[in-house]
Amino acid sequence: MLNGLQPYHLIIILLLVVLLFGAKRLPDAARSIGKSMKIFKAETKSMDDSADGATEPETKQISSSTVQPMGTESQVADLQRQLDELKKQQATGDHPQKHVS
């Protein structure tokens, strides 16, 4: 006798899994396992890459929201000036006429 799994063993295991989890949840479970394996492989590859280049300094990515382009201060000042003008117009009652159809 062989100690390995026979084809009928695999069929019994498959039937038990279907009975325990249900046929509707199995595709979602397989999909999530596949995504987890993909992430795991990517992380282990990045760890191997970083171990190979251990002498290189680490580079940090800066998000684009923290980096402000030149001229932003002048844009902020212009917007603040426009806002002040609108507040003055609202306070004096000089509203533009809205056409109601």
Domain boundaries, the chain: 24-50
The pTM of this model reads 0.36
pLDDT digits (tens, 9 = 90+) for 66-79: 555 556 788 888 88
Q: How many CA atoms lie within 13 A of 15 on its CB side?
A: 6
> How far is the C-alpha of 75 from the C-alpha of 66, rounded, in Å?
16
pLDDT for the residue 20: 86
> How far is the C-alpha of 38 from the C-alpha of 32, rounded, in Å?
10
